[in-house]
Amino acid sequence: MKGKKIALILAGILLVSAATSAHATGWGVGGFGGVSIPIVQDDAAQGVVFGGHIRLSLGGILGLEPNWTYFKNGDWTTSDAPGETFPGSKFNSFGVNAILGGAGPVTGFRFFPFAGFKFYNEKNDFRDFSGSHLGWNAGLGIEIGAGPIGIEGRASGELLPIDGGGSRKWVHILGGLNYYFGAK
């Protein structure tokens, strides 16, 4: 029942997107930046995130998005150790998103749900830790385009399993600019 509801919501978004924009094949590059908000992580605070991606249209509303993202958790404190500040982790991630809603140049606006995997490389000076893990992300974006230019905003949920069990989670709120080659 829940799955049907989610599928219906996604289908609705895609219909609106299809009705309000014209999809073209092609490819583009883009950059983005924003805030990284840790979810239920006592050892992380809000930080910055930025990166770049390539947007490849597979025709119609299907697309692929190879991407690189850097983000840094802000320094954190705990009431159990007043007056002390501890550094958050830094992450470099590389991955690929599957996109619905179109990944080529757009005229008008479109919503684009996306999901994908990433290899997250974490470095933490406080924990003296450095390592890589496979994680996942999924979310929803909106892009407004004219000619070769697209301006996008998106919210992405990021999930990184950790050794021994459990996981780290973030929400990334992002804004970005895309340029599409060969668009008219």
Q: Tell me the closest approach of the beta carbon of residue 79 to another protein, in angstroms.
A: 9
Residue among 139 and 183 whose Cβ is closer to another protein:
139
Query: Applying CB under 8 A, does 40 fall inside the site for another protein?
Result: yes
State in angstroms the smallest separation of the CB of 175 from another protein: 21
Structure tokens given for 8: 């219906």
Binding status of residue 137 toward another protein by CB under 8 A = yes
Nearer to another protein (CB atom), residue 7 or residue 48 = 7
- 44 counts as binding another protein under rule CB under 8 A: yes
Rounded to an integer, what is the distance from CA 91 to the centroid of its chain? 13
Determine, following the binding rule CB under 8 A, whether residue 7 of this chain makes contact with another protein: yes
Query: Could you give the angle at the alpha carbon of 167 between the alpha carbons of 163 and 170, nearest 5°?
Result: 140
Structure tokens at 64: 């692929």
Should residue 60 be labelled a site residue for another protein when binding is judged by CB under 8 A?
Answer: yes
Backbone angles phi, psi at 165, to 5 degrees: 120, 160
Helix (H) or strand (E) holding 29: strand 27-39
Identity of the residue numbered 47? G
The distance between the two most distant Cα atoms of the chain, rounded to a whole number of Å, is 59
Query: Least distance in Å: CB of 18 to another protein?
Result: 12
Beta bridge partners of 89: none
**Is residue 1 within the footprint of another protein (CB under 8 A)?**
no
User: CB 81 → another protein: shortest distance, Å?
Assistant: 6
What single-letter amino acid sits at 80?
A: D
CB 135 within 8 A of CB 93: yes
Interface contacts to another protein, rule CB under 8 A: 3, 6-7, 10-11, 39-44, 60-62, 78, 80-82, 84, 86, 98, 100, 113-116, 125-129, 136-138, 157-159, 162-169
